[in-house]
Chain A
Amino acid sequence: MISQLFVLSQRGDSIVFRDYRGDVPKGSAEIFFRKVKFWKEDGGEEAPPVFNVDGVNYFHVKVVGLLFVATSRTNLPPSLVLELLQRIARVIKDYLGVLNEDSLRKNFVLVYELLDEVVDFGYVQTTSTEILKSYIFNEPIMVDAGHLPPLGPAAMFMQGTKRMPGTAITKSVVANEPGGRKREEIFVDIIEKISITFSSSGYILTSEIDGTIQMKSYLTGNPEIRLALNEDLSIGRAGGRSVYDYGGSAGSGAVVLDDCNFHESVHLDSFDVDRTLTLVPPDGEFPVMNYRITQEFKPPFRINTLIEGAGSLKAEVILKIRAEFPSDITANTISVQMPLPTYTSRVSFELEPGAVGQTTDFKESNKRLEWSLKKVLGGSDHTLRAKLTFSQESHGNITKEAGPVSMTFTIPMHNPSRLQVKYLQIAKKSKTYNPYRWVRYVTQANSYVARI
């Protein structure tokens, strides 16, 4: 049974604090925060999501810098409590439109109302935004999302792409628009996080796509929705036992998922026949389907790194990235990082002539080279030269002292798996009923690493 639920700000003060059972002392929030902040156990510097202090189990998840915490004296399934905390954050976001410290502080009474119904006497009751609606009486107080850092995977649509109704996804599911009427719309986002490790010679050692089809519905009256995916989609790798089987039928077109799971509202009756998902979307944001792919795919970026000693106290690094996606697509917020030898004292950078929107930095504290690019067009390549100065003579192999190079980026309207939503059908209530439908694709780097 859960004893307490609370939300702490980055500085550690409670924004809401709900005690359900009274069997954990009141100071738990401070005990928790001190423990997390000064974690120094098992060699790590980051507190694990679950730990025990004096017989009290503390569970926490971090969402947009806020700490969502549950305490318990009993031995609960950790996945249950952590999932619950994540859901609580999601429900709060559904209600407030924007989830951040400011919106939470302004609406803390509403959040108390939610916490009161989500958990009763320490037992989880419901996390459905829809069911909760009938118990919640406070009106959300909106905060201006304009100048606030966006959150969540869907937030990337707000960066620089004019086609997207950026503010729409920060709407509350309960509050009405200023005009009084709600706009009928539905968002389906295909979000793919990719992880690749390149060997020093450029071969792909491992690769994986972790994808989610995320839905956020603002439709009234809960109409049924049909979501059709690629017809040639198959699940589970046929034949070969090895999951990482890179030979053979690369690029033959079929999308092969290793495995996937579905939201509870999804009916799979016709999925085996025509790859169609049928569901009645509940209010709020939720993942329709999560999937995992280890099938070979074309990496969006190639990274070439060269590090060479130049005299006893100097070395040169040449970093080159090449965008291997179609030229009508633009990647944004690209960042390349590379740890340099610990005895590096100074770095001077040389960007390619005519470079726009690129910045470089040498982080003295952790000896890291950082190269950011605002935009990269498909098909283009970019190079950075850096001259390193060492404070002591390097002994032996300099490549062992630096790297690996890692990269983060976002590519809107592109997904390497080629999984597609062929159509999105909404059961019609009348002839004039034609809600807005937004189907959006995006690719993000999760762990994109090139060894040197």
Chain B
Amino acid sequence: MAPPAQTHRSPSPSQPSGKGEVSDLKMQLRQLAGSRAPGTDDAKRELFKKVISCMTIGIDVSSVFSEMVMCSATSDIVLKKMCYLYVGNYAKNNPDLALLTINFLQRDCKDEDPMIRGLALRSLCSLRVTNLVEYLVGPLGSGLKDSNSYVVANCLCALQEIWGLEAAKSEEASTERETLLSKPLIYYLLNSQGFFENNLPTSQGRDKVCLTLYPPQTPPCENTLEQLDTSVDFSLSTTLLRFGPGFKEFSEWAQCAVLELVSKYVPSDSNEIFDMMNLLEDRLQHANGAVVLATIKLFLQLTLSMADIHQQVYERIKAPLLTLVSSGGPEQSYAVLSHLHLLVMRAPYIFSADYKHFYCQYNEPFYVKKLKLEMLTAVANESNTYEIVTELCEYAANVDIPMARESIRAVGKIALQQYDVNAIVDRLLQFLEMEKEHVTAETLVLVKDLLRKYPQWSHDCIAVVGNISSKNVQEPKAKSALIWMLGEYAQDMQDAPYVLESLIENWEEELSAEVRLHLLTAVVKCFFRRPPETQKALGAALAAGINDFHQDVHDRALLYYRLLQYNVSIAERVVNPPKQAVSVFADTQSNEIKDRIFDEFNSLSVVYQKPSYMYTDKEHRGPFAFTEEIGNLSVGAEPTDNVVPAQRIEANDKDLLLSTSDKEESKGSSHNGSAYSAPGYDGSLAALTQTDLVSLDYKPTPNVPSATFAIDDLLGLGLPAAASPPPPPPVLKLNTKAALEPNTFQQKWRQLPISISQETSINPQGVAAMTTPQVLIRHMQGHSIHCIASGGQAPNFKFFFYAQKAEELSTYLVECIVNSSSCKVQLKIKADYQSTSQAFSELFQSALSKFRFSL
């Protein structure tokens, strides 16, 4: 670290020499306070500068407060400004001191210089001391009537601010105060006709109004929230936009504010939409990215219900977005690129011809390259895959290791997306020949995933993987992948048993439990195929595993040991059953989350790639206040209200652009339905594939004792003849008399993340009888699952259910959309405790599957 820099730096006023200076300053200020000699102001300026610079670097100079206030009697505006800055900084934490300043600020509010009036008013209101609000009413009232627009504009800002501070406790107020402070600023503006013309003749003043309204403040008390709702904002914003003083004369920042407001407006018909879009189209050519993105947000939202126009909007905004990405500083281009990324992910096919724009430049920071790689992965299709993969292979050879890794992953993802993966497999295998450790490691993990999805490639892959020496692979993930392949393809790899054996010999040195777990499973699988060669290794592995200090490893070794002891052929069916290729890998981000992020276009949610409720506390959510569909649902059954949302969901699914429903997903559900009849198994399969290589390895739930008991029991009683799906998690009992307030439900639904989202089917017989939602509600109630709201008409019904765990205060919330014509059911489950949501999901689905019997 550099030595304290002050010692050898120029004696510039922003670098005070030390803390002892504060008391010096105090003395000097006191001497100057009363002085009227010429040159005093200059001396004061120097002293004030020193005080401010101390304040800037974090030295506490609050002790000179009274001296500063005493010195503030001056007509020198630079001095005044410094004094206001100082006061604003220390008032909040020193309310007693703040009281000192009221007098002189109030006096300044009546100064003849409008600049001082405006500044004083601003400072007065920014003291932010609640018990001083009484003193603000007078100055604010006269400020609004001031002849100078600077004062009026500052007053508006201040009013908006004070209103936020005060609205909650303005009950015992005087009449003047009531008119000023109890209503949002918007009311005031709308109620005083001619305010704009008389008090704010300049466009700058009007700018101020727009900017002040942005973003609309979330008021602290609930009933005003409703008042401030919709109509008021929108009438103002549309007035400003269409009949107001010319939208384009606003400053660029005010334009952003108005556009943000207008994006909440729902136009009456499509003509109005087109009018608005025509009026604003040239905003897409604005050099300020903030204006362009605000316009794009508006366009996207306006056209949500018009699929073809929506797509045209995508085409139209492409070029302006690309221009913004390449002009301006790296920071702005990152912000724009994040939005482009979101759009590409939603509608990759629209951008597939522009893939070259997503090629990485060598001097870009990693966070930009990562976004670009994801976009390249998304837009890859039959026509451009070759070029894209060639480009990615260049990056994979890059000296920049994180970049090389990401590129290899991208190649792998493209391979997993496409049916014709022939050429890509070759490329991946070439990576293995590069003999760079990180490249090999990354590639092994991908080859493993590839084999799980396309087992038909095993022959080619195994030939190459077989040549890799396990000594060159150190990373746990890669090592696990290699071991999995050794076990899975033991019959094709000549020396698989011996490689495993040598790995087992080094059991003690293997630090990763994940690798040891895979080693156990692999050696057992290998044993089934090549018993004589593996027997020795198996014995060693089981012995080492049972003595392992890691609980999971120990348990798995013991399970295998007992299974093998009981019956080898049954053990084989448990450990190594014939596998189905995995068609869908569990996605990391649900569609609901993606849609929520899209709703919050042009906000931080896009950059963070998560919806605002995940990173902001409620009071600060601002303009992106949560709008949840449940809000549209009346509590209790009232079908007519709810037709619209249900139909919209249906419509959304038909349109690729409007919802992110994956093409893969539909494939996945049909496959899962046919492969296993056990309800709920598909869910657990998805969960396992994500974390575990071996789909039948059962990971003990946190309550280990009961799990081992279960195994003991099974062994004692003898296994049933058929290999069963993984043992069910501990039985979940629901409270039959669960009760939940609608408000609580709404709140919880808002706060909790989705723990399970899946599609399942419902028995056609049951559906046929479902003329009204009540039938299903009654049925579910019989299984202790209660309905809080429902709606819809055939064929679409929507339900919100809840259930509570018996003996424990743990609640489950379910959104259930039933389509009675296709017999499909979409489930979204949220839970207080994520760990048991899987069990609940199974319970729920089994209740649902029994629907027919209740007829």
Contacts and interface: CB of A to CB of B under 8 A. Distances in A.
Given A13-B57, A76-B603, A208-B326, A125 B335 contact: no
Given A116-B85, A121-B158, A261 B331 contact: no
Nearest to A287: B287
Interface in B198-217: 204, 207-208, 211-212, 214-215
Contacts of A61: 329, 331-332
A80 B290 contact: yes
Contact of A75 (B252, B319, B339, B603): B603
Contacts of A206: 356, 359
Contact of B353 (A14, A197, A208, A243): A243
B435 A77 contact: no
B14 interface: yes
Most chain B Cβ neighbours within 10 Å, of A20, A43, A49: A49
A121 B620 contact: no
Contacts of A83: 288-290, 328, 332
Interface stretch (B29-37, B365-373, B550-558, B753-761): B365-373
Contacts of A116: 81, 85
Given A16-B56, A109-B82, A127 B253 contact: yes
B186 to A, nearest CB: 15
A49 B394 contact: no
Contact of B335 (A79, A109, A290, A342): A79
B327 A406 contact: no
A292 B338 contact: no
A273 B78 CA distance: 50
Interface in A170-199: 195, 197
A22 B57 contact: no
| Interface bracket on B | 35 or more
Nearest to A193: B326
A17 B56 contact: yes
Most chain A Cβ neighbours within 10 Å, of B55, B126, B327, B353: B327
B332 A79 contact: yes
Contacts of B290: 77, 79-80, 83-84
A297 to B, nearest CB: 15
A48 B334 contact: yes
Most chain A Cβ neighbours within 10 Å, of B157, B326, B603, B616: B326
Contact of B328 (A20, A77, A86, A102): A86
Interface in B73-91: 77-78, 81-82, 85, 88-89
Contacts, number: 264
A106 B323 contact: no
Contacts of B627: none
A99 to B, nearest CB: 14
A14 B14 CA distance: 10
A123 B157 contact: yes
Given A43-B402, A52-B608, A86-B328, A75 B616 contact: yes
B49 to A, nearest CB: 6
Given A78-B604, A86-B329, A292-B326, A46 B365 contact: yes
B609 to A, nearest CB: 11
B399 interface: yes
Contacts of B161: 121
Contacts of B329: 61, 82, 86
Interface in A144-169: none
A325 B2 CA distance: 46
Contacts of A451: 394
A116 B92 CA distance: 18
B287 A290 contact: yes
B534 interface: no
B197 interface: no
B615 interface: yes
A105 B366 contact: no
A396 B286 contact: no
B434 interface: yes
A19 B328 contact: no
13 contacts: A52-B604, A75-B620, A78-B603, A84-B253, A109-B78, A236-B319, A243-B354, A260-B323, A261-B327, A287-B287, A292-B326, A342-B399, A449-B361
In the complex, the 10 A-B pairs of residues with the closest C-beta atoms, listed nearest first: A447-B361, A44-B366, A290-B327, A80-B290, A49-B331, A259-B319, A43-B402, A79-B335, A74-B622, A210-B326
Interface of B: 2, 5, 10, 12-15, 49, 52-53, 55-58, 77-78, 81-82, 85, 88-89, 92, 115, 122, 126, 128, 154, 157-158, 160-161, 204, 207-208, 211-212, 214-215, 251-253, 256, 260, 284-290, 292-294, 319-320, 322-324, 326-332, 334-336, 338-339, 353-354, 356-357, 359, 361-367, 370, 391, 394, 397, 399, 402, 405-406, 433-435, 600, 602-608, 612, 615-617, 620-624
Interface of A: 1, 11, 13-20, 22, 26, 42-46, 48-50, 52, 55, 57, 60-62, 73-80, 82-86, 102, 105-106, 108-109, 112-113, 116, 120-121, 123-128, 131, 135, 137-138, 195, 197, 205-206, 208, 210, 212, 236, 241-244, 258-264, 287, 289-292, 339, 342, 366-367, 395-396, 400, 404, 406, 446-447, 449, 451
Given A50-B607, A76-B603, 7 more contacts: A44-B402, A75-B620, A77-B293, A108-B13, A243-B353, A264-B288, A291-B323
